[in-house]
Structure 1
Amino acid sequence: MHAHDDPHDHGEGHSHSHSHSHGVTGDSERRVFVVMLLTGGFMLAEVAGGVLSGSLALLADAGHMLTDFAALALAWLAFRLTRRPADAQRSYGWYRFEVLAAFVNGLSLFVIAGFITFEALHRLSEPVPVSGGPMLVIAGLGLVVNAAAFWILRRGAGGESENLNLRGAMVHVLGDLLGSVAAIAAAVVILWTGWYPIDPILSVLVVLLILRSAWIVVRESGHILLEGTPTGIDAARIGAALRSVPGVTDVHHVHAWSLTGERKLLTLHAVVEDDADHTATLSAIDRVLRERFGIDHATVQIERGDCIHAPKPAS
């Protein structure tokens, strides 16, 4: 936590109680890298299977996996960058890059969804024969690969469930998993009944299933990029809680935002009594913010008397 006395005290003090290593671990980085390799390798097999069988579900899923490979590569790069230390140009380091990666990954899912829907509508108007046998084999292998990839990421999430970068990668893999399930179902129906329209119909169903998760990732990452107030943080509640701290008479100019999905930041002005102990008051404020609101990185300006940023009276 940072504390600043106002000019009335002619002094300035600092105390630190935060870490710049939240939410990003080498384990998650390794898991994303392994899943990236799995996705890229099987994507090539799906392209071949889709061409041989004529299945839109397989080709659409292969196209989805291509963008997923790029999305996972971006997520992996984000984990790598966030390990870099802060410097003169980036005082918070590269943490925000992981939020940007999640935002881009979420948007890419909307582009993929649009392409699949367009192609599905075209195939519904002009059905294309599909070879159910090869389609079933490739889709079955895809299900195994995607289930393994999803399990690897899910197992690695653990306490990082709020990490948007990891969640964005998981949404892409979940889309692949659902795509494989849809392709298997379509292949069974085609082998059993010969009804080809089931292929594009199930492709659209998968699109609808993944769009909700994509929207959640885009909405949350966009909110962070716009420096919106973190969920569960209310300026009025923070002010009321801090006014109960001994020596604090008023709290104002409360501003809260997020560096990443897990890391909340806060600035505020706290007016204290003239005889209040600076260090003890600051420690009490720090404790309240940490224990009641989960904020461990705050900049607090300590003031005595009138706020130096108060509106000037009209002359």
Structure 2
Amino acid sequence: MTPSPSDQGTDDNPPVPSSEPTHGHGHGHGHGHGHDHAGGIKGFLLSIFRPHSHDAADSIDSALEASTEGIRALKISLIGLGLTAVAQLVVVLLTDSAALLADTIHNFSDALTAVPLWVAFVLSRRAATRRYTYGFGRAEDLAGVFIVAMIALSAVVAGYESIHRLIDPQPVSKPYVVLAAGLIGFAGNELVAVYRIRVGRKIGSAALVADGLHARTDGFTSLAVVVAALGVLAGFPLADPIIGLAITVAILVVLKGAATDIYRRLMDAVEPELVDAAERSLRGTTGVQDITSLQLRWTGHRLRAETSVTVDPALDIVTAHGIAVDAEHALLHDVPRLVAATVHLSPAGPAGDEQHQTLDHHRVGTS
């Protein structure tokens, strides 16, 4: 008799153990990842401008804590973008710069794109229902689609404005002040971008990373204002639309990366290293003889697993169920951001193969 699958794990995702798991009920939970991080000022600067993509593997929060951290990142960055736009608005009133006014309006409106992602993080904390049995984590990915659309709109607007200024150049008054305001816009957006991307990578949120990239595209737009002011000062006003077209191309490159990440999440793609970690975890579990199937999928910033493994057919159901529990427990420890795993057991050898033949005609690609 094939033992029934183990119950799904809870949302209490424990810390990640070392890369050499010792399984069974007596888990060894060493946490030495061995990353050599630079200290001092150099290390601080590197942590801001080149965020470490393995932060989540070093210190894993529970799914609830990850949602809270995402919301906190959105609140802080929203305040930062709001202050940046207000500072630019003051300069607009002083200079009457049409280019800077457009950039300021752009920053105000794009700061509000954090709102749907904020709502998605709140929704993801709701408990599953009989209709939404996997919960509401997908709301985060849908918010990511909206953000990608906004990045695409930014590229269209930047390209249109650049072409329009090539055809009909506009004078810029008080270029020194406009230059300063453009630098404020660029610095504010870039700091917000770095912060959102770091937190998004830490908690595994592709949508928050995309929103960080969106802030970066806004920084590129502000940079165009800076170049426009420099062009005026150098006696070459056409520098603005020319650089604007170059920045449009840069925004399209950012768009491609963000769209790829969100597309992969919607298509249930996962990083191959996560599959490798899950396979190592299962093969390291005492009693597991082989892995017959393994699927991982993201729901927002939470990861779920379904797997089928073979065990000794002579085992009694209590012992076999204990192996399933050990395998599930090991997966929750060894796979970053995993919150639930379902483990199905099959007897190794001909007996299990014969039983599974009953299901062959239900499998995809079979008649």
Under a length normalisation based on structure 2, what TM-score does the superposition of the two structures give?
0.68
- What does 1:199-218 correspond to in 2, within 5 Å? 199-218=240-259
Note the aligned Cα RMSD (angstroms). Answer: 3.5
Aligned partners of 1:24 and 1:79 also within 8 Å: no
Q: Does 1:136 align with 2:179?
A: yes
Q: Distance in 2 between matches of 1:266 and 1:64?
A: 41
Partner of 1:160: helix, strand, or coil?
Answer: helix
189 and 240 in structure 1: CA distance in 2 versus 1, 3 angstrom threshold:
closer
d(CA) in 2 for partners of 1:27, 1:245? 33
Alpha-carbon shift at residue 227 of structure 1 (Å): 1.6
Matched, 1:255 2:295: yes
Determine the C-alpha separation between the residues in 1 that align with 2:158 and 2:5. 59
Whole-Å separation in 2 of the counterparts to 1:244 and 1:298: 16
Aligned 8 A contact 1:29 1:76 in 2 = yes
* Deviation sequence 1:260-294 (CA, Å, 0-9, x none): 3x433221222322233213321442355345544
C-alpha change, 1:60 and 1:202, in structure 2 (3 Å) is farther
Aligned pairs for 1:163-174 (under 5 A) are 163-174=205-216
Give the aligned partner of residue 189 of structure 2.
146
Please tell me the residue identity of whatever aligns with 2:189: N
> What residue is the counterpart of 1:52 in the other structure?
96
| The one of 96, 104, 115 aligned to 2:146 | 104
- 2:345 corresponds in structure 1 to 302
Per the alignment, do residues 127 and 108 of structure 1 end up closer, same or farther by CA in structure 2, a change over 3 Å counting? same
Distance 1:88 1:225 in 2: 22
> What is residue 77 of structure 2 aligned with on the other side?
35
- For the 8 Å contact 1:53–1:134, the answer to whether it is kept is no
Structure 2 match to 1:5: none
- Give me the whole-angstrom Cα distance separating, in 2, the residues matched to 1:247 and 1:27: 38
CA 1:15–1:278: 2 relative to 1, 3 Å: farther
Number of paired residues?
Answer: 300
Which of 96, 100, 115 is the equivalent residue of 1:73? 115
- Preserved contact between residue 183 and residue 202 of structure 1 (Cα < 8 Å): no
Which residue identity lines up with residue 265 of structure 1 in the other structure?
R
User: How far apart, in 2, do the equivalents of 1:12 and 1:266 lie?
Assistant: 13
State the distance in 2 between where 1:149 and 1:163 align.
16
Which residues of structure 2 form unaligned runs of 5+? 13-61
Which residue is equivalent to 2:158? 116
Shift of 1:196: 1.3
Matches of 2:9 and 2:306 in 1, distance apart?
Answer: 14
Question: In 1, distance between residues paired with 2:192 and 2:274?
Answer: 35
- Structure 2 distance, partners of 1:11, 1:31, is 42
Residue 212 of structure 1 and its aligned partner are, at CA, apart by: 2.7
Q: Residue 87 in 1 paired to residue 129 in 2?
A: yes
Paired letter, 2:299? L
* Residue 197 of structure 1, CA deviation: 1.1
Amino acid aligned to 2:103? D
Pick closer, same or farther for the CA change 1:207–1:52 going to 2, 3 Å.
same
Runs of 4+ that moved beyond 6 A: none
Q: Is the 8 Å Cα contact of residues 161 and 167 (structure 1) preserved in structure 2?
A: no
Contact 2:5 2:324 survives alignment (8 Å):
no
- What's the offset of the Cα at 1:254? 2.6
Q: 1:231 aligns with which of 272, 279, 292?
A: 272
Task: Report if the CA contact (8 A) 2:200-2:209 is conserved.
Answer: no
Change (3 A) 1:299 1:10: closer
**How far 1:16 sits from its partner (Å)?**
2.9
1:142 is matched by which residue type in structure 2? G
Moved more, 104-113 or 202-211: 202-211
The 1-side partners of 2:280 and 2:187 are apart by 53
The alignment partner of 2:295 has SS state of strand
Residue of structure 2 in register with 1:3 after alignment: none
The whole-number CA distance in structure 1 between the counterparts of 2:239 and 2:98 is 13
* Residue in structure 1 matching 2:313, options 274, 283, 296: 274
SS at structure 1 position matched to 2:305 = strand
User: 5+ residue gaps in structure 1?
Assistant: 1-7
Look up the equivalent residue of 2:352 and give its one-letter code: D
Q: Distance in 2 between matches of 1:76 and 1:59?
A: 27
Q: 2:238 maps to what in 1?
A: 197
Structure 2 Cα separation of the partners of residues 137 and 273 of structure 1: 72
What corresponds to 1:4 in structure 2?
A: none
Q: How many percent identity over aligned positions?
A: 21
